[in-house]
Amino acid sequence: MFHTAFFHQMFPNEHLQIMGILQLLLHFKWTWVGVICQANEIGERFLRQVLILFSEKGICFDYIEELVLEVFSSELEEKMDNFLKIYETMMTSLSNVVVMYCENQIMVLFRMMSSVSEYLDTRVERKDKVWIFPAQMEYTSVPFQRDWSMDIIHGALSFAVSSKELLGFNRFFQARNSVIEIEESFSKIFWEQAFGCFFSKSTLSPEPEKRCTGKENLDDLPDSVFELSMTGQSYSIYNAVYAVAHALHAMLTPHFKHRAIAARRKQKLLNPQVWQSQPPSLCNNPCALGYSKIKIEGKPFCCYKCLRCPEGKIANQTDSDDCFPCPEESYPNKDQIVCIKKRTTFLSYKEPLGIILTTVAFFFSFISTVVLGIFIKHQETPIVKANNRSLTYILLIALLFSFLCILLFIGQPNQVKCLLRQAAFGIIFSVALSCILGKTIIVVLAFMATKPGSKIRKWVGKRLANTIVSSCSLVQITICSVWLAISPPFPNSDKHSMAREIVLECNEGSVIMFYIVLGFMGFLTFISFTVAFLARKLPDSFNEAKFITFSMFVFCSVWMLFVPTYLSTKGKYMVAVEVFSILASAAGLLGCIFFPKCYVIVLKPELNRKEQLIKKQK
């Protein structure tokens, strides 16, 4: 028994067309489209596939409308109303792309769109749309539409069925110019409809206005009425006929080896170069650079608002789903589009602020050296000898080093600077404050020892002063040693405190130990201020307590302002605040304590005599 199976697909593969439409939309980034299909099984199957597949690929639908298949039916008026509503929906929608997945007979109704607006109660302005047609919809016209404008579908995109030019096909058509003399033949009916004429015995018009001669030329017909070249649909019919012929030949010829006919059809776009400047079809304008998308409640995911990126983040692509932060070493530009590399910064000797602070430090170091030289030169005078001359020298040397220690704070931080600067600052200032405390206590004890029978006289002398200075300094040295042992400062790169800078700094290691150092200095300052304040009314001849009181007031004021200012600043300006506080407090001590004495020593030497001081005391 002879069994064979012949299969030939006359119409385009539906799934391939759907995938082709999807690729076309994605290629041109048309994500907001309208869909028109027929209200039949083909249309329903198309919608089932499209709604799922297109949504997965980011395509949204502005509208989905169904057209009735029976155009010329008894309910034509009702169907026309439905069509006009669909037309109004298309023309008033925001989407610029319409996918029309229908069969060929719908093209007749679609051609009416160019003049349909006059039938609407509310005139709808016709807008240019990008139409996408499947392969089964050809640009054909019924005879009454032959002279109608086709502007509305100019620029439409259509999938084409592959075809070939057949040898002798045009000669065959040319030979049909002689009409077959058979009454009511198909050729006669076609001829009358195509050329708008009538044969003498035609039943179409009993009194024709135009007679058919049979000599009319098919070349004169518009392509939409009759196309001389082989169309895709005609080629499919041609192949189908040949497939049947080959099948019959194989069945009737025993020695003929039948072969299954298989042809793969490729869907190709018509002249894609025309679409190099395609119109957009989006629910809303794309989000610009520096903005991210935010969903609108109740709207499809293709419809969204654009939100400015928060501070510190960028969006370097249009329609970004989210903004992302720059790396730690970078910061966003003004428009939040790109990340700019941060520049490294520190309190440098080369910048104006560093130059000013360094100059001031050297100036006061020079003044301290001059004052120390004056006191050494006049070391045998009563003013220098009063209130413990050795403490005065130690205090001046401590102030000199306090001015010089700020050089550890300026310049690029390194391991040595970070280890030494806070410890050196704390120890040097503790030595200076302990000298002031020792001088103040000696003043008080000296006047108490002048009373008859006082036992305090044995405490007045260098031994007590040395004990006060060494013990107070030792406490601060111990605190700093513990700090360096358990959590020493180290060089660090601060990438977060400043938006556009990476700050090279010294991390203090243990902030608690840093404030303990400041706290002990504050304790010495408070004791010195209290003792000096109580001794401020003792005789001026031997008493510098009132100058110490004022110097301690200046010192306290500077460091009380330092703490909130230091905590409120960032980057290299934190270092500048501490350097300024060191300079201001040390300069306050130098000026308040030693300026009056230098004035007498240098400018009023006649007052710096023992006789004058005794006379003034009496």
For 535-600, the three-class secondary structure string (H helix, E strand, C coil) is CCCCCCCCCCHHHHHHHHHHHHHHHHHHHHHHHHCCCHHHHHHHHHHHHHHHHHHHHHHHHHHHHH
Hey, is 422 helix, strand or coil?
Answer: helix
The C-alpha atoms of residue 137 and residue 319 are separated, in whole angstroms, by 35
Q: 211: phi > 0 → left, psi -120 to 50 → alpha, else beta; which?
A: beta
What residue ranges of the chain have pLDDT lower than 70? Answer: 1-12, 69-80, 113-123, 140-149, 163, 170-186, 200-209, 214, 223-233, 253-277, 387, 446-462, 536-543, 608, 610-618
The C-alpha atoms of residue 500 and residue 53 are separated, in whole angstroms, by 46
Cα-atom radius of gyration of the chain, to the nearest Å? Answer: 51
The C-alpha atoms of residue 473 and residue 575 are separated, in whole angstroms, by 25
The residue whose two tokens read 């070493």 is 329
Q: Check residue 267 and give its pLDDT.
A: 39
DSSP conformational letter for 506? E
Whether 335 and 289 have beta carbons less than 8 Å apart is answered as: yes
Nearest to 528 by CA among 423, 414, 438: 438
Q: Give per-residue pLDDT as tens, 282-323.
A: 888 889 999 999 988 888 888 899 999 998 899 999 889 899
Phi, psi of 266 (to 5 degrees): -110, 130
DSSP for 366-406, please give it. HHHHHHHHHHHHTTTSHHHHTT-HHHHHHHHHHHHHHHHGG
Helices (H), 462-544: 462-486, 511-534
Q: Strands 268-269 and 157-160, how do they pair?
A: antiparallel
Tokens of 74: 């008894």
Q: Is the dihedral of CA 359, 362, 365, 366 positive or negative?
A: negative
Q: Check residue 554 and give its pLDDT.
A: 87
Tokens of 3: 């069994």
Q: What is the pTM of this model?
A: 0.60
The C-alpha atoms of residue 430 and residue 520 are separated, in whole angstroms, by 8
Hey, what amino acid is at 586? A
Tokens of 315: 């969006």
DSSP for 19-64, please give it. HHHHHHHHHHT--EEEEEEESSHHHHHHHHHHHHHHHHTT-EEEEE
Hey, is 109 helix, strand or coil?
Answer: helix
Tokens of 241: 């006929």
Whether 145 and 108 have beta carbons less than 8 Å apart is answered as: yes
Whether 98 and 64 have beta carbons less than 8 Å apart is answered as: no
Nearest to 287 by CA among 306, 300, 273, 271: 306
Q: Strands 339-341 and 343-345, how do they pair?
A: unpaired
Please classify residue 411 by burial: count the beta carbons closer than 10 Å to its beta carbon, then call 0-12 exposed, 13-18 middle and 19+ buried.
Answer: middle
